[in-house]
Amino acid sequence: MSQNKTHDGKPLITLKDVIKSFGTNEVLKGISMELYSNENLVIIGKSGSGKSVLIKCLVRLVDIDSGSINVLGKSIPDLSQVELDKVRTDVGFLFQGSALYDSMTVGENLQFPLRRHKHRMRGQDEGQLISEALISVGLEHAIDMMPVDLSGGMKRRVALARTLILQPKIILYDEPTSGLDPITSNEIISLILNIQRKYNTASIIITHDMDFVRVVSDRIIIIQDGINYAEGSYANLSKSSDPKIRAFFKERRL
């Protein structure tokens, strides 16, 4: 368990014995975990170990086979569509490949989540919200550009702005720095850290970037063979003697 932060209060997210398979491919074989308020939980695991599937289960983009998932006090598998949509506005999702809508401009991309959640706009003007969100990621000039004309780093920022526009309480980041050069990665990382400080969000972050893990993580969960194999702070896990855990922290040598 994490030593550098005490978990006061109830967890925001609780998973118990979550099982999910696709046909004969058993991806999750009984995962249990919690996310507490204000914390950055990092999930690491080999490619194909089911990290993306796991966080998709949290917002019911993937239906689980068995187990229980509780997000912000709601049992996700049992919610009606309307209730589910309500929970989803509190949970931001940054997709692995940014997932910007190709047929829409940057501005329209940011406007899209607002269409169904006007009540969330706190009386603010739609255009104002959009430009504020773009300013916060440093892309106010790109409002009329199409996603194809953006670089990978710019896409990631727009996706980040789109995730933030409804001011979620929890943000799920699926490999926010993958495919970016180290400098752009660092920019994205400091954006993420700023967001954290500004809005006090709790996050689940999937990443392979161990430098990122070191600076951002309050707690780490290692997914291996479909279960949560190990858990702890960066300091603890990096000192572990278990070779399966050590493999993630080792310097790359070929």
Question: How far is it, in rounded angstroms, from Cα 59 to Cα 95?
Answer: 13
Q: Between residues 115 and 197, which has the closer beta carbon with respect to other proteins?
A: 115
C-alpha 205/C-alpha 47 separation (Å) is 15
Based on the shown chain and the rule CB under 8 A, indicate whether residue 93 belongs to the binding site for other proteins. yes
Q: List the single partner that 117 binds among other proteins, ligand ATP, Mg ion, none, CB under 5 to 8 Å by kind.
A: other proteins
**Least distance to other proteins, CB of residue 100, Å:** 7
Q: Is 53 in the site for ligand ATP (CB under 6 A)?
A: yes
Binds 45: which of ligand ATP, other proteins, Mg ion, none (CB < 5-8 Å by kind): ligand ATP
The answer to the question of residue 52 lying near Mg ion (CB under 5 A) is: yes
SS (H, E, C) 158-210: HHHHHHHCCCCCEEEEECCCCCCCHHHHHHHHHHHHHHHHHHCCEEEEECCCH
Q: Kindly compute the dihedral angle of the four CA atoms of residues 42, 45, 47, 51, in this order, to the nearest 10 degrees.
A: -60
Least distance from C-beta 149 to ligand ATP, angstroms?
26
Q: Which residues of 185-216 are buried (b: 16+ CB within 10 A; e: fewer)?
A: bebbbebbeebbeeeebbbbbbbebbebbeeb
In the shown chain, the binding pattern of residues 66 to 95 toward ligand ATP, with x for contact by CB under 6 A and - for none, equals ------------------------------
Of 2, 52, 98, 177, the one binding ligand ATP by CB under 6 A: 52
What does the binding site for other proteins look like in residue numbers (CB under 8 A)?
56, 59, 61, 85, 88-89, 91, 93, 95-97, 99-103, 112-113, 115-117, 162, 166
